[in-house]
């Protein structure tokens, strides 16, 4: 499919030229990378010119998986570290409670994610910098996207082990916090049911009290205790949600940690590129001085076919190379300094974050445990009160 060839003026939005929508979602079946059958969802991206007279834009459409949206966002994060890139909707229905389906194929969840993906594209298309990105334009119209190759290009040859370990830690932290929140959601759902069922005790005791003369007051009082117990669950779960929000904050912090790692990868990648360019320039100088070409090149073939360069030509090229070498050495020095400063500054803040995380999560978990103990005591107290009511009958 043809790519969008539209020149966007600086500070203008792509949405002024182009209508972008994620029109529908569709379930498909196929084999994954390990040749296993899987069911997945694809989303239809449709683009059309706002004005039919706009040159270079034709209506277009293509299907993309959620993982491709992830690749696009990762590319934008690495390429534009100074930009606050819009988030994607959640990949899995991981943190749900009461009447919300946790099935990734649930129609309501798929629809919410479709709307979220469309919003993401609109955010990027309306950004004054991101809307001009060529890869983003390709993403909207070309099925054979270069995103995988672009993301792979930023894999550095000599990664810093500390940042590799930090990235791994952030992935693991995200996993355990997601699991914890899922367990909490399931427990909260069941707890809600248990508390509300106690309201049935209250109703039954109240109805029973109406037909008893001697036991009536005791049954009525026990019923009131059960009703109050059932009604208290809303306040309890609201308090519990506060502690869940503290855990969610650190779940989202894991993405911030990975962003720091990606920024370091970009810094290291740029350093390696300028160092590689400097090494190539040094090799060119050596070949020019010695007249020996160590690797195959068009220059070497030309020399063999048309003869060697004159001394004046070599001298002129040497002067150009000398200047380029000076600039290259300066660039390597500059990138080394930039990399060192980034590592130093980032690691100070990472250590600060670790201390903050340990304090906050410890406090949240202790408070959550205290709240659970209080809930259990409240349940015991309700039945203790009911027992006293029964004793008085």
Average pLDDT, the chain: 81
| pLDDT value, residue 332 | 92
Q: How confident is the model at residue 393 (pLDDT cuts 50, 70, 90)?
A: confident
> For the residues 253-261, what does the mean pLDDT come to?
86
**Residue 84 CA, distance from chain mean position:** 13
| pLDDT value, residue 115 | 92
Q: For tokens 């914890």, what's the residue?
A: 180
Q: How confident is the model at residue 199 (pLDDT cuts 50, 70, 90)?
A: confident
| pLDDT value, residue 248 | 86
| pLDDT value, residue 366 | 92
Q: What are phi and psi of 302, to 5 degrees?
A: -65, -40
**Does residue 28 contact residue 39 with C-beta atoms inside 8 Å?**
yes
| pLDDT value, residue 31 | 62
pLDDT tens-digit map of 105-149: 678 888 889 999 999 999 999 998 999 998 898 899 886 555 655
pLDDT tens-digit map of 222-240: 889 888 888 888 888 888 8
CA dist., res. 386 & res. 364, Å (int): 33
pLDDT tens-digit map of 156-172: 778 888 998 998 899 89
Question: Quick one: which of 309, 278, 272 has its CA closest to 293?
Answer: 309
pLDDT tens-digit map of 56-70: 566 788 899 998 999
Higher pLDDT, residue 290 or 330: 330
Which DSSP letter does residue 1 get?
Answer: -
| pLDDT value, residue 99 | 44
CA angle at 145 for the pair 73 and 14, rounded to the nearest 5°: 60
pLDDT tens-digit map of 10-56: 445 788 888 999 989 888 877 654 455 678 889 999 998 887 555 55
Q: Which residues contact 228 (CB under 8 A, 6 or more apart)?
A: 382
Edge-to-edge strand ranges of the sheet holding 37-49: 18-31, 37-49, 60-65
Q: Answer whether 0.85 is exceeded by the pTM.
A: no
Residue 302 has pLDDT above 60, yes or no: no
pLDDT tens-digit map of 272-291: 888 988 888 888 888 777 76
| pLDDT value, residue 1 | 36
| pLDDT value, residue 3 | 36
Q: For tokens 């950004």, what's the residue?
A: 127
| pLDDT value, residue 18 | 87
| pLDDT value, residue 298 | 47
| pLDDT value, residue 100 | 44
């Amino acid at each position: 499919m043809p790519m969008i060839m539209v020149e966007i003026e600086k500070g203008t939005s792509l949405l002024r030229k182009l209508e972008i929508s994620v029109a529908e979602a569709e379930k498909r079946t196929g084999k994954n990378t390990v040749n296993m059958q899987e069911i997945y969802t694809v989303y239809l991206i449709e683009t059309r010119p706002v004005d039919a007279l706009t040159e270079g834009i034709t209506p277009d459409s293509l299907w993309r998986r959620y993982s491709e949206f992830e690749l696009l966002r990762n590319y934008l994060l690495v390429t534009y570290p100074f930009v606050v890139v819009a988030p994607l909707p959640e990949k899995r229905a991981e943190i749900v409670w009461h009447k919300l389906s946790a099935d990734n194929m649930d129609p309501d969840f798929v629809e919410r994610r479709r709307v979220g993906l469309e919003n993401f594209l609109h955010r990027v298309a309306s950004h004054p910098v991101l809307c001009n990105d060529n890869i983003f334009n390709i993403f909207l119209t070309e099925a054979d996207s270069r995103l995988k190759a672009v993301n792979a290009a930023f894999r550095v040859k000599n990664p810093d082990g500390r940042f590799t370990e930090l990235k791994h830690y952030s992935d693991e932290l995200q996993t355990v916090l997601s699991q914890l929140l899922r367990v909490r959601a399931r427990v909260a759902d069941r707890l809600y049911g248990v508390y509300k069922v106690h309201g049935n005790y209250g109703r039954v005791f109240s109805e029973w009290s109406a037909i008893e003369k001697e036991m009536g007051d005791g049954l009525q009082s026990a019923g009131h205790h059960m009703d109050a117990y059932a009604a208290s669950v809303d306040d309890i779960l609201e308090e519990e949600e506060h502690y869940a929000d503290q855990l969610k904050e650190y779940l989202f912090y894991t993405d911030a940690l990975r962003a720091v790692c990606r920024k370091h990868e970009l810094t290291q990648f740029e350093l390696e590129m300028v160092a590689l360019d400097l090494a190539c320039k040094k090799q060119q100088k050596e070949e020019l001085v010695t007249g020996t070409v160590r690797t195959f090149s068009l220059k070497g073939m030309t020399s063999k076919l048309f003869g060697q360069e004159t001394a004046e030509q070599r001298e002129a090229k040497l002067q150009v190379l000398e200047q380029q070498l000076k600039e290259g050495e300066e660039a390597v020095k500059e990138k080394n300094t930039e990399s060192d400063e980034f590592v130093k500054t980032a690691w100070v803040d990472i250590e600060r974050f670790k201390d903050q995380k340990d304090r906050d999560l410890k406090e949240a978990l202790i408070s959550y445990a205290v709240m659970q103990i209080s809930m259990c005591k409240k349940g015991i107290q309700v039945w203790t009160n009911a027992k006293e009511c029964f004793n008085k009958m």
